[in-house]
Chains A and B, each alone.
Chain A
Amino acid sequence: MSTEYLTAETEWKLPSPRRTAVILVILTESALFTIFVVAYLFYIGKSLNPPYPHEVLEFPWLGSILLFGSSGTIVMAEKALKKGSVSGFHLWWAITAGMGFGFLIYTATEWHKLIYKDGLTLGTNLFGSTYYSLVGLHASHVVVGFILLSMILIFSLTGKLQHRHHEHVEMISWYWHFVDGVWAVVVTVVYIISANS
C-alpha cells in the first residue's frame, strides 16, 4: 500500500519520552500503593487490641485543604509560565511548595498526637501497622514532591529555569497531581471507611 507509505513519510511523530516515562512511573507507583491500600482494607476491624481507628482518627481537614489546594495553585503556576509571567510563576510555585510543606507539618503533628497521646505505633496492632505504612508511604511521596518543587523554585529564582524546561515543570506537576490523587484514596479508605466502621 504505497499511499499509506507516502503519508507515513510526510509525518513521523512519536510520543515524548519524558511524558511516557512519567506515566509509567505513575503506573508503577499506583501498583505499589494498591498493595498497601488492599492490606489496609483487608485488616479493617481485625485489630485485637486498642486503639481502634474510630477512637483516635480525626478527619484531616487542614491537611486535605492544603494538599488538594496545592493541586490548584500548581495549575495556576503553570498557566502563569505559559503566559510568560515569571513573577506569577514564582508566586504560585512558592505557594504550592509551602502548602506541601504545611501538609507535612500537619502529618507530623497528627503522628505526634497518635504516638504520644494515643500510644499508637507501628507495632501496637494491625491498625497501627497498616495505617503508618500507608500514610507514611504517601507522606514520603509528598517529601519527594516537596524536594522537586523546591529545586524548581531555586533554579527558577537563580534564573536557571528557561522556557525550554516547561516540560520538566509540567512533569513535576503531573507527579504532584498523582500524589494528590493518592491522598484522595487514602482519605477515603483511612479517614472515611475505617474511621466509621
Chain B
Amino acid sequence: MPNGIPITTKEIGTEANPARPGEEHGTITSWIQDIVFTVDHKKLGLMYLGMGWLFFIIAGTMAAIIRTQLFLPDNHLVSPQAFNSLFTMHGTSMIFFVAMPMIFGLANYMVPLQIGARDMAFPRLNAFSFWLTFFGACLMFFSYVGAPGLYGAGAAPDVAWFAIAPLTSRAFSPGTSVDYWSLGLLVTGVGSVTGGINIMVTIFCYRCKGMTLYRMPLFVWLSLVTMFLVVTFLPPLSAAQIMLVLERFFGAKFFETQAGGSAILWQHFFWIFGHPEVYILVLPAFGVISEVVPVFCRKPIFGYPMMVAASVMIGFVSAGVWAHHMFTIGMNSYSITFFAFATFVIAIPTGIKIFNWLATMFGGKIRLEIPMLFAIAFLFQFLIAGLTGIMLGCAPFDWQLNDSYFVIAHFHYVIVGGIIFAVFAASYYWYPKAFGRMLNKQLGLWHFWLFTIGFHLTFDPQHIAGILGMPRRIYTYHPGRGWEIWNQISTIGAFLQAIAALIFVINLFVSARKGAVAGDDPWDGWTLEWATSSPPPDYNFETTPEVKSRRPVWDLKHPEDPDWKFE
C-alpha cells in the first residue's frame, strides 16, 4: 500500500468460517447459543438494535391504543386505570428500552469500526451491559403478569414516566407496580453505566495509529460526549430509585411530606438525570447526521472543530438546565432566571450545528438517497423542536403551557422527529455494512413519505390542541372544546406512522435475503468502516489501519489528492 491504510480485501470477508468440531450451524440451538455466548461488539450492537425495535413495536402499539382512545370525546375504549399505565409504560419504554438501546447499539457497532479497533475495550462487560439492559426491560414488563392487578387493569406502573412523588409512596400506589418500575430501571441503569464506561474506554484507549482525537469521525466524538453524560448523569436516577426503594420497602422518609420530606426533591433528582438524558439521546443522532450529510453532499463536514466544540459545550451546559421542567412548582425568581437563561444558552451550540450542516449541504452535490432524505427531514423537524423548546424555556410561556399537549408535541418532535428519524437514516446508511445487502429503495421511499406525513399529521395538531388548553395525560375529554378535530387528525397520523414502521420492518427482513448486494463501500464513504468488507469479519480489520487525516478512506481512494496534505 503506497499511501496509507491496508484495506481488507473482499476475500477475507467471504472467506469460509469453518465450523469448529461439535458445533452445528443453522439450527435454532446454535443460533440461541450464538446470541447468549457472544461478546462480539457487532453482534451485541445488532442485539441492542433488535431490542430497541422490539420495544418500539410494543410501545408504539401502546401509543396507537392511546391515540384511538383519544379519537372521540367521551370515549371509553380502555379503562382510566389502563390508560394511566399505557402512557406510563409507553414513555418509560420509549426512553429506556427503545431510544437508549438504539444509541448503544449504533455506538457498539460503529465506534470500534470507525476508530479502527478490533472490538470494544471490555467485550465481556459489553455482553453484561446488554443483558442487564434487556433483563431490566423484562423485569418492568413482567409487572403486567407478576403484580397483583387492580380492577382487571393489570398492575403495570401507572405513575407517569417521571413517577411523581408522593404518588409513588405506599399510601397512593399500593401493590408492587412502582417496585417493578424502580427496580427495572435500576437494573437497566447499571447496564447503561457499564456500557457507557466501556465505550469511553474504547474511544480513549483503542484508536488505531494516527487516529488523534481531532481526526475522529464526528459520530465517535458525539458518542464520547454522550457516554460521558451517561456515566455522570445516570447515577442521580439510580440514587433516586434507591431512595424510592428504601422508602417503599423499609419505610424511609425521603419524599414524604408528613414527615417533613419534600416531594419536590424527587423532581430535582429526577430531572438532574432527565434533562441530560435528552442530550444523551439526541447527541448520537447529531453524530449520525454529521456522518450522513457530508457523504451524501460529497463535501467534508463544514467547521469540524466548531462541531466538536459545540458538542462538548452542549454536554456541559446540559448539566445546568434541568429545572426548566419545573417552572410551575414555585421556584424563586433567581432560580427561574438562571434556568431559563441556561436553556437559551444551550440553543447556541445547537444552532451552530444546524448552520454547519446547512453549510455542508450548500454547494454540495446532493444525492437524495433514503438516508439523506431522513437527514433533511431531521434538520427541518429538529429546528422546529428546538424553537418550541425555546418557547417553553420562556418561563411565563411555560406557566401557560406546562403539562399541556404543546409540551407533548415539543418533545415528540425532538424524540420522533429528531432521534427516530436519525436512527432511520443510520439504519439505511449502515444496513449495507452490517448485512452486505442494500435496503430496498422503493420500500424505503414509501417508508420515508408515509412516516414523515404521518409524523406531521400526528404532532403538528398537538401544538394547537395544547394552546387550546388540552392537558397531557387526560383519559378523555368532553365535546365542544374545539379539541376533537386536532385529536382526530393526530390519530390518523399515528396510524400512518404505524404502517410506515411496518413497511420498514418488512424491508429489514426482506432485504437481508433479497436485497441488492452492497459491496464494501456502497455510498462512497470516507470513514474507516467502509474500508473493511460488508459484513465485517469478526476481527474487523485484517491489519490495524493507520490514519493520516479525518477522511482515511478518501486518502486511500485518491492517492493523488489526499486530505492529509491540507490538514
Asked whether any CB of chain A lies closer than 8 Å to the CB of B77, the reply is: no
Contact of A36 (CB < 8 Å), options: B206, B233, B239, B567: B239
Chain B proximity of A111: nearest CB distance (Å): 14
B93 at the interface (CB under 8 A from A): no
- Report which residue of B206, B240, B242 has the largest number of chain A beta carbons within 10 angstroms of its beta carbon: B242
CB distance from A176 to the nearest CB of B (A): 19
Residues of B within 8 A of A36 (CB): 239
B73 to chain A, nearest CB (A): 43
Q: Are B251 and A123 in contact (CB under 8 A)?
A: yes
Contact at B205–A123, with CB atoms within 8 Å? no
Q: B231 and A21: CB pair below 8 A? A: no
- Cβ B197 vs Cβ A21 within 8 A: yes
Q: Is the CB of A126 within 8 A of B259?
A: yes
Tell me how far the C-beta of A18 lies from the nearest C-beta in chain B, rounded to whole angstroms. 9
Query: What residue in chain B is nearest A21 (Cβ atoms)?
Result: B201
- Is there an interface contact between B242 and A17, defined as CB atoms closer than 8 Å? no
Whether A31 touches B236, Cβ cut-off 8 Å, given contacts A17-B121, A122-B252, is yes
Which of these, A21, A47, A129, contacts B122 with CB under 8 Å? A21
Give a binary string over B220-256; 1 marks a CB under 8 Å from any A CB, 0 the rest: 0000000000011111101110110011001111100
Residue from the list A25, A35, A123 in contact with B252, Cβ < 8 A:
A123
CB-CB contacts below 8 Å: B520-567 with A:
548, 564-565, 567
Which of A38-46, A83-91, A93-101 contacts the other chain? A38-46
What is the total number of residues of chain A having a CB less than 8 Å from a CB of chain B? Answer: 38
A129 touches B201 (CB 8 A): no
Selecting from A8-16, A72-80, A177-185, the interface stretch reads: A8-16
B240 CB → nearest A CB, Å: 7
Please tell me if B204 contacts chain A, counting CB pairs below 8 Å.
Answer: yes
Seed contacts A9-B210, A132-B252; 7 additional CB < 8 Å A-B pairs? A14-B207, A31-B231, A31-B234, A32-B239, A35-B240, A47-B259, A122-B246
B193 CB–A CB distance under 8 Å: yes
Chain B residues contacting A35 (CB-CB under 8 Å) are 235-236, 239-240, 269, 272
B565 CB contacts on chain A under 8 angstroms: 2
Is the CB–CB distance between A14 and B262 below 8 Å?
no
Q: In the complex, are the beta carbons of B243 and A31 less than 8 A apart?
A: no
Q: A8-B210, A126-B260 are in contact. Are A15 and B204 (CB under 8 A)?
A: yes
Most buried by A among B122, B204, B253, B272: B253
Is the interface on chain B under 10, 10 to 19, 20 to 34, or 35 or more residues?
35 or more
A-B contacts, 26 of them at CB < 8 A, read: A1-B564, A2-B564, A2-B565, A5-B210, A9-B210, A12-B209, A14-B205, A14-B206, A17-B121, A17-B201, A17-B205, A21-B122, A25-B197, A27-B232, A28-B232, A28-B235, A39-B243, A39-B254, A47-B260, A123-B250, A123-B251, A125-B259, A126-B253, A129-B252, A133-B242, A133-B252
- The complex places the Cα of A122 from the Cα of B240 at a distance, in Å, of 16
Smallest CB separation, B2 vs chain A (Å): 15
Inter-chain contacts of A197 with B (CB < 8 A): none
Asked if B474 is at the interface of the complex by the 8 Å CB criterion, the answer is no
Q: A24 with B201: in contact, given A42-B262, A47-B260, A122-B251 (CB under 8 Å)?
A: yes
* B107 CB-CB contact with A under 8 Å: no
Checking A21, A31, A123 against B232 with a beta-carbon cut-off of 8 angstroms, the contacting residue is A31
- For residue A138, give the distance in angstroms from its CB to the closest CB of chain B: 13
> Which residues in B have their C-beta under 8 angstroms from that of A24?
196-197, 200-201, 231
Report whether over half of chain B's contact residues are helix, strand or loop; otherwise say mixed.
helix
Please state if B250 and A31 are interface contacts (CB–CB under 8 Å): no
CA distance A28 to B238 in the complex (A): 11
Q: Does A196 contact B (CB under 8 A)?
A: no
- Specify which chain B residues have a CB less than 8 angstroms from the CB of A48 in the assembled complex: 259-260
Asked if A130 is at the interface (CB within 8 A of a chain B CB), the reply is yes
How far, in whole Å, are A188 and B60 apart by their CA atoms in the complex? 49
Q: In the complex, which residues of chain B have a beta carbon less than 8 angstroms from the beta carbon of A42?
A: 262, 265
Among B193, B196, B205, B238, contact of A15 (Cβ-Cβ < 8 Å): B205
Which of A27, A39, A42, A46 is most buried by chain B, counting CB atoms within 10 A of its CB?
Answer: A39
Residue of B nearest to A5 (CB): B548
Q: A137's closest neighbor in chain B, by CB?
A: B242
Q: Which residues of B contact A133 (CB under 8 A)?
A: 242-243, 246, 252
**What's the least CB distance linking B489 to chain A, in Å?**
43
What's the minimum C-beta distance from B305 to chain A, rounded to whole angstroms? 15
Does chain B have a CB within 8 A of A158? no
Residue of A nearest to B232 (CB): A31
Name the A residues within 8 Å of B232 (CB-CB).
27-28, 31
Judge if A20 is at the interface, Cβ distance under 8 Å.
yes
- A1 vs B358: C-alpha distance when bound (angstroms): 29
Decide if B261 is an interface residue (CB 8 Å cutoff).
Answer: yes
Are B204's CB and A20's CB within 8 A? Answer: yes
B400 within 8 A of A: no
Q: Which residues of A contact B14 (CB under 8 A)?
A: none
Does any Cβ of A come within 8 Å of B212's Cβ? yes
- Closest Cβ–Cβ distance, residue B79 to chain A (whole Å): 34
Q: Shortest CB–CB separation between residue A159 and chain B, in angstroms?
A: 26
Give the top 5 A-B pairs by smallest Cβ distance, nearest first. A123-B251, A35-B239, A32-B235, A31-B235, A129-B252
Please encode chain A, from 122 to 150, with 1 for each CB lying within 8 Å of some chain B CB and 0 for all others: 11011011101100010000000000000
> Across the interface, do A21 and B121 meet the contact criterion of CB distance under 8 Å?
yes
Once the chains are docked, how many angstroms separate the CA of A125 from the CA of B239? 19
Nearest CB of chain A from residue B244's CB, rounded to whole Å: 11
CA distance A12 to B250 in the complex (A): 54
Q: Which residues of B contact A137 (CB under 8 A)?
A: 242
For B498-521 the 0/1 string (1 means CB < 8 A from A) is 000000000000000000000000
Residues of B within 8 A of A12 (CB): 209-210
Report chain A residues within 8 Å CB of B122. Answer: 17, 21
- Contact check: which of A14, A16, A129 meets B246 at CB < 8 Å? A129
Residues of B within 8 A of A128 (CB): 252-253
* Chain A, Cβ-Cβ closest to B548: A5
Q: Known contacts A14-B206, A14-B207: does B261 contact A126 (CB below 8 Å)?
A: yes
